[in-house]
Every structure is written in structure tokens, then in C-alpha cells.
Amino acid sequence: MTPRWPLSIVAALALGVMSVSAHAATIQITMENLVISPAEASAKVGDTVEWINKDIFAHTATAQNGDWDVTMPPKKTVTSVLKKAGIIEYYCRFHPNMKATLTVTP
Amino acid sequence: MFVRLSAAIAAMSLLSSAALAQGAKPTDPQIAHIAYTAGVIDIAAAKQALTKTGNKEVKAFAEDMVRDHEAVNKQALDLVKKLKVTPEDNDTSRTLSKNAADKLAELAKLKDAEFDKAYVANEVAYHKAVDSALETTLIPNSGNAELKSLLQTGLKIFQGHEQHAEHVAAALK
């Protein structure tokens, strides 16, 4: 499986050549029509996730391991900062068919 | 259980036969009315459950039903306003409302685990009936693209509800 790097990570890596590497990035994860995309995303500890809910329904991004639980009101964007590394399987508590994975590296 | 299921199947066949009995396909104003009524019914059922259940999973499920169906119905109201369509009462809506009122009265007499099981079993059957009506009658006959798209979103979310209800039903056994 080829890891799919969000543009922001690629940009951060490219910029890392010039700047000090510890610069935090922002990645976007979208919930639309009851689907989370990308289904597999990667980020680093310290990065910010912009959770974009395009649906008329409220959603959550709830880590199976209990690390985080973000609630997104309908048509709203919510941000959270990643504090712990790990391969996090998460889902929407209101619509458990919505599932995805976020890989957080140290 | 079988009585409830057959009642739901009766409701489901009424849902399509009432429309067919008129000798015409349901119109957009009728479809909007049926879809909205179906949502109102499930919200009322969920609100009844919230006053009666002590079960955590049933409560969470009922809260999901209120949240999602209110969201769809709000969108439906916004849409009919935008399209300047007046939802039109019809036999299918009336049958749905009548059956739902009977079901509410029946469930009102039950308590605790008995209530939980009956409520969730009815939710499984009800969502099956509504999903089937959406798929076979309401979506194919809707003329307006935005109405069709909203019904498709509705179908997707209600299929999730059906699975969720089945999951809760299995946990209650």
C-alpha cells in the first residue's frame, strides 16, 4: 500500500529543507455525504486537523482508542491539534458506518 | 414480533399501493409531504423512547434519530420554501400517520426491557419500510433534482439507521 501524503505534509517536508523542520502543518479531513475523506491520512504530532463537515448532519471523529473525540456541527469546520502518535482508527459515533484511519507519527 | 413485522409490511405495501390506487404516480408536493411525515413520525417515536427507556444504547439511538430526522426535515422545509412548493396531504401520508399513532399508543403501554425491544424492533421494520418506499416509489417519481438529491441523502442516512437499529436489537436479545 502506497502511503497517500496530504499536500500539506508534502509542502511541509519541502519547506523543511529551508526552515527548521519542527514546523506544524494543517491537514484537512472532510465529511461529506456520510463519507470521510481521505479514508487514510497521515500527520505528525503537533499538526492541526481541520475537520470539515459539509453535511446537514452532525458528525463526530471519535478515536477507537479513546485518544480524541471531536464533534462537528452540521456545515461547520472544527480544528484539533494532534498530541499523541499512533495509528488511530476513528469513526462517527452518530453514524458508525463512517470510518477512517489517521496515522500520527512522532 | 411477527404481528409488528406484518404491521410494518402492511404499512409498506400501503405506502406503495395508496400511491398506485390514485391511478397516478405521487407528485413532488405529495412526495415532499410523505417524506416529511415519515420523519415527523420517527422523531415522535424517538421522543417517546427518550421518556421511557433506561437503556444507554436505546437512548443514544433515539437521540440519533431525533438529530438526523430533524436535520433532514429542516432541509426539506427549506427546500419546499425555496421551490415555492406546498406539501400536499395524501392517502399515503394519512395512512402513515394513523399507523404511527396506533403504534405510539401500543408502545405507551409497555415498560422497561419490553418497551426497549418493541421500540427497536419497530424502528428496524419502520426504516425498512421507509427505505423501500424511498427506493421504489419516492425517489424514482420525484421530478425536481434537488428534491431527488435530498431523498437520496435521506435514503443513505436511513439505511444507516436501519443497520444501527438492527445492531441495537441484537444487543437487546
Q: Is A58 on the interface with B (CB under 8 A)?
A: yes
Instruction: Compute the C-alpha angle A83/A62/A96, nearest 5°.
Output: 160
Q: Kindly report, residue by residue over B16-41, the tens digit of the pLDDT.
A: 544 444 446 899 999 999 999 999 99
User: Order of strands, edge to edge, in the sheet holding A40-44?
Assistant: A40-44, A99-105, A86-91, A59-63, A69-72
Question: Looking at CA atoms only, how far is residue B118 from chain A in angstroms?
Answer: 22
Nearest residue of chain A to residue B167 (CA atoms): A96
Q: Give me the pLDDT at residue B70, please.
A: 97
**More confident: B162 or A20:** B162
Hey, of B56, B57, B61, B64, which one would you mutate to test binding to chain A, going by the most A CBs within 10 A of its CB? B64
A98: amino acid identity, one letter:
M
User: Which residues on chain A are in Cβ contact (under 8 Å) with B57?
Assistant: none
What residues contact residue B95 under an 8 Å CB cut-off, 6+ apart? B11, B14, B15, B18
Q: Model-level pTM?
A: 0.81
Lowest mean pLDDT among A11-20, B38-47, B94-103, B143-152: A11-20
Cell numbers representing residue B146 in the block: 434537488
Closest-CA distance, A46 to chain B, in angstroms, reads 32
What whole-number distance in Å separates Cα of residue A74 and Cα of residue A55?
6
Q: Closest by alpha carbon to A104, among A41, A20, A52?
A: A41
C-alpha radius of gyration, chain A, whole number: 14
pLDDT at residue B173, rounded to an integer? 84
Q: How does pLDDT run across A56-79, given as a tens digit for each residue?
A: 999 999 999 999 999 999 999 999
Q: Hunting for cell 401500543 — which residue is that?
A: B106
> Which of B156, B159, B166 best probes binding to A when mutated, by most A CB atoms within 10 angstroms?
B156
From CA B130, how far away is CA A49, in angstroms rounded?
37
Please state, in angstroms and rounded to a whole number, the distance separating the CA atoms of residues A18 and A21.
8
Minimal CA separation from A74 to chain B, in Å: 9
Model confidence band, residue A17 (pLDDT cutoffs 50, 70, 90):
very low
B14 versus A42: which is more confidently predicted? A42
A95 shares contact with chain B (CB less than 8 Å):
yes
